[in-house]
């Protein structure tokens, strides 16, 4: 099988005598940033609709799983097969509608069942009934904020509709304005801006929008619009730093019309 070939390659790369010097230097911590990077590259290929790149990026991500598994195997902790068995067991356990004869009405009900089963697993692992337990600190801040908000909502702490978080944004923005007016205390500014961003994430959750994806696409639009603005200035022979605010605003409006 192809996966056996990958695992054999991984063993060779980590061979203490004939392996790759770079691979031999790595440990879980040094590899972790590469694992995150590969996951983001998978997401990027999906966003671009590039299935050829997606195949390659999924392979790179799979290699990361093989790498971590090999490191664990060397310590006698677990091997790749144990990782596969664990995810198979988890998927079977979390889909009683498919594997246990407990049908659900729709995807929304399935999500509730999934979260309820996960809560049971957290309790079994000694995390108690804490609704927010087990959300990784290493998640991107927007994604973690969304998970925190969703978990709290599942426990009953939420607004009934999007009007609540929308009003909260106005409240937090007013508090931020007050801190700015009072003298720009750095710690308070950070706190109020963080509260504002968290409120925006809650609104996104109520609108069923992934904030991480929304911001990533906003970044892409800004990049394309700014390139459009630069090209417009270049045709006029004007450096961006020398353009006045009125011209920049005019060209920015034109860029937004061109790239909605």
pLDDT digits (tens, 9 = 90+) for 207-218: 999 999 999 999
DSSP secondary structure string for all residues of 59-88: HHHHHHHHHHHHHHHHTTS--HHHHHHHHH
What's the DSSP call for residue 125?
I
Where does the pLDDT of residue 117 fall: very low under 50, low under 70, confident under 90, or very high at 90 and above? confident
What's the DSSP call for residue 102?
-
Q: What pLDDT score does 111 carry?
A: 74
The residue out of 93, 124, 152 marking a domain boundary is: 93
Domain-located, residue 149: yes
Give the chain's domain count: 3
> What is the C-alpha to C-alpha distance for residues 57 and 42, in angstroms, rounded to an integer?
5
The count of other CB atoms within 10 Å of the CB of residue 24 is 12
Contacts (Cβ under 8 Å, ≥6 apart) of 173: 196
87 neighbors 62 (Cβ within 8 angstroms): no
Where does the pLDDT of residue 241 fall: very low under 50, low under 70, confident under 90, or very high at 90 and above? confident
Place of tokens 């979260």: 115
Q: What digits encode the pLDDT tens for the residues 144-176?
A: 999 999 999 988 999 999 999 999 999 999 999
Of the candidate ranges 118-122, 127-131, 165-169, 234-238, the one whose mean pLDDT is the lowest? 127-131
Domain-located, residue 78: yes
Calculate what percentage of the chain has a pLDDT beyond 70. 98
What mean pLDDT is predicted for residues 111-126? 73
Structural domain including 153 reads 139-209
Domain-located, residue 204: yes
């Amino acid at each position: 099988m192809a996966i056996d070939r990958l695992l054999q390659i991984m063993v060779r790369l980590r061979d203490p005598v004939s392996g790759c010097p770079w691979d031999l230097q790595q440990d879980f911590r040094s590899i972790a940033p590469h694992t995150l990077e590969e996951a983001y590259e998978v997401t990027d290929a999906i966003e671009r609709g590039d299935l050829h790149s997606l195949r390659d990026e999924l392979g790179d991500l799979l290699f990361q799983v093989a790498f971590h598994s090999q490191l664990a195997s060397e310590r006698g902790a677990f091997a790749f097969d144990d990782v596969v068995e664990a995810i198979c067991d988890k998927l079977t356990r979390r889909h009683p509608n498919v594997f246990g004869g407990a049908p659900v009405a729709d995807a929304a009900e399935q999500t509730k069942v999934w979260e309820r089963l996960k809560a049971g697993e957290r309790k079994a692992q000694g995390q108690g009934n804490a609704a927010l337990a087990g959300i990784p600190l290493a998640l991107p801040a927007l994604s973690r904020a969304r998970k925190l908000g969703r978990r709290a909502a599942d426990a009953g702490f939420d607004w009934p509709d999007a009007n609540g978080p929308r009003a909260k944004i106005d409240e937090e923005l007013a508090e931020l304005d007050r801190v700015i007016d009072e003298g720009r205390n750095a710690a308070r500014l950070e706190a109020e801006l963080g509260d504002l961003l968290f409120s925006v994430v809650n609104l996104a959750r109520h609108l069923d929008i992934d904030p991480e994806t929304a911001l990533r696409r906003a970044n892409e639009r800004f990049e394309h619009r700014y390139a459009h603005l630069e090209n417009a200035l270049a045709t006029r022979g004007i450096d961006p730093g020398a353009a006045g605010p009125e011209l920049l605003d005019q060209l920015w409006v034109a860029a937004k019309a061109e790239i909605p």
